[in-house]
Structure 1
C-alpha cells in the first residue's frame, strides 16, 4: 500500500495522467508549477511533440525535483 502524499507534494501518477490526456497542451507542466514550459507546450503543440515524448521518460525525475524544491522551500 502506498503512503499518502502531503498536500503540497506532486504525484507522479497524476502527472502521467495529465501527460497522457493533455500533454500536448502542457497541462502536466502547469501541474508541476512550470508555467513557462507549460505555455511553450501550449503554443507549440507540445514542442512539436518532441517535448511530450521526452517527458514520457523524464517525468518521474521532474516530479522528484519539484517535490524536493517544495520540501526545501525553494519553490
Structure 2
C-alpha cells in the first residue's frame, strides 16, 4: 500500500512514522525493568500477549504458596528470555504496521 503513494505522500508518511515510531532502546528498558508484567509487549502494540504475560505472573505469585506457582513463573521467565532476542524484530514489525496504517489513512483521505 505504501508503494502506491506519491513521493510527497511517502514523505508525509515517513514524517508521521518518525514522530510516532517505537524505539528499541525504550523497549529494552521496559523489558529490563518490567518484563514479567508484559509492559514491553503492550508498548509495542501486542496487548493480548502482554496481558497474558501479566496474568501468568500474577497467577504464579498468588499460587506460589501452594507450590504450583513456580510452574507459571518458569514459563514467564522463559518467555521473557526469548523476548530479549525477539525485541528488535517486534519493534520493526510495529513500525512497519505504523507505516501501513498511515499509508491507508492517506489513501482513504484521497478517495
Larger radius of gyration: 2
Deviations 1:10-45 (A, max 9, x none): 000000000000000000011011110110110112
Q: Please report the RMSD computed on the Cα atoms of aligned residues, expressed in angstroms.
A: 1.8
* TM-score normalised according to structure 2 size: 0.58
Q: Which has the higher contact order (CA 8 A, sep 6+)?
A: 2
Equivalent of residue 25 in structure 2, options 9, 13, 38: 13
TM superposition outliers: structure 1 runs of 4+ over 4 Å = none
- Write 1 or 2 for the structure with the bigger share of helix: 2
Q: Unaligned 5+ residue runs, structure 2?
A: 1-16, 58-72, 105-111
* TM-score normalised according to structure 1 size: 0.85
